[in-house]
Amino acid sequence: MKKMSLQWRLTIITTLFIAVICGCLTLFLYKNGVYYIDLLQDTVDAQSDEDNSEEADEIYINIPDDKWDDFADDFSIQVYNNKADYKKRSLLFSTLLALLGGVATYFLSGHVLKPLRNFSDKIEEVQAQNLADSRIEENEVKELNRLSVSYNRMLERLSEAFEVQRQFTANAAHEFRTPLSLMQVQLDLYNSTEHRTLLENDVNEKYVNQIMDEAEKVLHNGSSVDSILSNVYQKLILKFDQPQTIELTGKKPKVIFFIGPTGVGKTTTLAKIASRYKVDKEKKVAFLTADTYRIAATEQLRIYANILDAPMSIIYTPEEMNDAIARVSEYDLVFVDTAGFSHRNEAQCQDMKKLIDGLDEAYEKEVYLVLSATTKYKDLLEIADTYKEIANYKLIFTKLDETITYGNILNIKLYSGAKLSYMTSGQNVPDDIEVFDTQKIVKQLLGGR
């Protein structure tokens, strides 16, 4: 049945349902008919000598005594034949009704599933050249409204990706427009210049090989330099994926946790993001701090709260956290600053997990792991693994101004599978922070300035 179409599944199930109902109804009617026919038979068999001819409401058939036995035998045979005929016709009628119901269900389900078939046909027609014409009007397919919205958004992302590729190709063609430059670039690619550049930027060799294998295949197929460069560039863009930042769904308040090791700039990063939402987007923000290990951290956050005219509470337990959030339930965002600790400290890891898991289910939450771009690769791997056991997170990279290699950003993105969100490059609040700029980082990885 797994290989059947949805239309046939609906038809078979509905037909069986109708057959069961008809069978039960037929059995009920048959039993009732047989019951009353048997009563008539019993009445005939129980011949009465009493004279009831005076009863006005009853009709009796007078049969001579010498012919009564013949009449009773003939009547019993007739009753038996009538019951058999009644049973046969009832079963035939039920079968016919079930079949008619199945046929009707097949055509009705076909009509109901027509929007889904149209949607499937539309997807099969999608080509890189007709993305704009492949959109589905959301109001025309109410049953598939959410699916059509997701489908249209996917087309938009594909269109943006192709546009980035075309733009890069055009720029590359402009830079390498002379025959001599073209020959030099092709020779550099052949000698794995891009391979060395990525390795020099601390991109893990496993990921470098994955990216360069594609470029080498294109080169061997005789494609142009523009296509080769575009392929490497686009491969990196796709590996970084689209950044995901804080999204307000309208449900208040949304709780944002900032977690990470010591010294990565969690408190400063929290203040920068909160300032953007408070000042630029005019949202109501509140602060909670669970970082009770450092007095300076609490005072630092209190200063930011005073500047933004935002309430701030110090919390020690999940219960205190939920109570504090309840007091600012009309606010849009509640930012929770947590204590930094060594990723090898199991006790503090468990405390952090209890705090995040202890959030009341009535509130939406997002967790952001703040990492420094200057941290060593092996340490980053351990940190990513440790905090993955605490909660699912998105990534924020800080201190990009303190390093010249950005390979670890790509390494941890691919290793953890987490989405990138923001990046910072300085201490100034609310400046020195931006949504993760994929194209900027990719250009740096490829040796751009």
For 187-217, write each residue's pLDDT tens digit. 455 445 677 788 888 888 888 888 777 666 6
Q: How many CA atoms lie within 13 A of 181 on its CB side?
A: 8
Helical spans, DSSP H, in 132-285? 145-175, 179-190, 193-200, 205-220, 225-240, 266-275
Q: Which two tokens stand for residue 66?
A: 């010498």
Q: What percent of the chain has pLDDT over 70?
A: 70
Look up residue 138 and give its DSSP letter: G
Per-residue exposure over 3-32, b if at least 16 CB sit within 10 Å of its own CB, e if not: eeeebeebbeebbeebbeebeeebeeebee
Asked if residues 189 and 447 have their Cβ atoms less than 8 Å apart, the reply is no
- Angle, to 10 degrees, between the axis of helix 205-220 and the axis of helix 179-190? 130
Quote the mean pLDDT of the chain.
78
Residue 181 in this model has a pLDDT that exceeds 70: no
Give the model's confidence band at 95: pLDDT under 50 very low, under 70 low, under 90 confident, else very high: confident
Q: Average pLDDT of 13-31? A: 74
* Residue 140: closest CA among 131, 149, 129: 149
Q: Average pLDDT of 338-349? A: 83
Listing DSSP states for 221-263 in one string gives TT--HHHHHHHHHHHHHHHH---------S-SPEEEEEE--TT
Q: Which residue has the tokens 């008919």?
A: 33
Least reliable range by pLDDT among 65-69, 321-325, 328-332: 65-69
Least reliable range by pLDDT among 133-142, 223-232, 359-368, 384-393: 133-142
Q: Pairing relation of β-strands 333-337 and 364-372?
A: unpaired
Q: What is the dihedral of CA 413, 414, 418, 419, to 10 degrees?
A: 60
Q: What is the dihedral of CA 239, 240, 243, 244, to 10 degrees?
A: 60
Give the model's confidence band at 39: pLDDT under 50 very low, under 70 low, under 90 confident, else very high: low
Which residues lie below 8 Å from residue 410, measured CB to CB, with a gap of 6+?
Answer: 203, 207, 236, 239, 240, 441, 445
d(CA 7, CA 105): 9
Least reliable range by pLDDT among 61-65, 411-415, 419-423: 61-65
Q: Average pLDDT of 335-351? A: 86
Q: Average pLDDT of 354-365? A: 93
Give the neighbor-by-neighbor strand order of the sheet with 364-372.
312-314, 285-289, 333-337, 254-259, 364-372, 394-398, 420-424, 433-435
Least reliable range by pLDDT among 52-56, 94-98, 219-223: 52-56
To which H or E segment does residue 372 belong?
Answer: strand 364-372
Asked if residues 257 and 356 have their Cβ atoms less than 8 Å apart, the reply is yes
Q: Could you report the per-residue pLDDT of 278-314, keeping only the tens digit for each? A: 999 999 999 999 987 776 778 889 999 999 999 999 9
Asked if residues 172 and 226 have their Cβ atoms less than 8 Å apart, the reply is yes
Rounded to the nearest angstrom, the gap between the alpha carbon of residue 43 and the centroid of all alpha carbons in its chain is 72
Residue 177 in this model has a pLDDT that exceeds 70: no
Asked if residues 194 and 215 have their Cβ atoms less than 8 Å apart, the reply is yes
